[in-house]
Amino acid sequence: MTFTAIDFETAYAKFPCEIGICVVENDEIQSANSWLIKPACFPYMNYWCYKTHGISSDMVQDEPSFADLWSTLQPLLDDTLLIAHNAPFDMGVLRASLQYYDLAMPHSDYVCSVSLSRRVWKGLESYSLHNLCALHDIHFHHHRAGADAEACAKLVLKMAESSGLSSVEELVAHTGLQLQKV
């Protein structure tokens, strides 16, 4: 299994204040990192977003913008298979950030781990990251991007293991889903 799990926390709408990236190569987590981001809407931080993740404007005031981080992030996101839990949200944030700063889209495909989990573990009451991780004994600091990305990666590895599959592409085909373009 080789893929990259990604997660965003937002300050408001599609303005990210944190990104988490977890790189998986040959069935093993190679790295899990997160970066705080000074959002384009700074200093505004939506109260409900703040209540969810706890990232304040004070925490991001001296952090780089998404554009400033892009040279670090792009090699981790380009030419890889991206996976996010609730991918429509995270891919929307990625696209909006790239468009806002007039940056090129990465050449990558993606798939949603919520959609995968609904097809692999049928009949659960909830497919939230928190509930799936509790069910599979994965402990993490929910609503912090690096921890959420790593938890997503661990869930995908468990899905493949429980299905007896050795790649995300096999897992996607097994579930009848299709990869999407970023």
Residue-by-residue pLDDT tens, the chain, 182 positions? 899 999 999 999 999 999 999 999 999 999 999 999 999 999 999 999 999 999 999 999 999 999 999 999 999 999 999 999 999 999 999 999 999 999 999 999 999 999 999 999 999 999 999 999 999 999 999 999 999 999 999 999 999 999 999 999 999 999 999 999 99
Domains in the chain: boundaries: 3-181
Strands (E), 14-108: 15-25, 28-36, 81-84
Model pTM score:
0.96
d(CA 31, CA 138): 17
**Contact (Cβ atoms closer than 8 angstroms) between residue 91 and residue 84:** yes
Helix (H, G, I), strand (E, B) or coil at 28: strand
Fold of 3-181: Nucleotidyltransferase; domain 5 (3.30.420)
**Contact (Cβ atoms closer than 8 angstroms) between residue 6 and residue 82:** yes
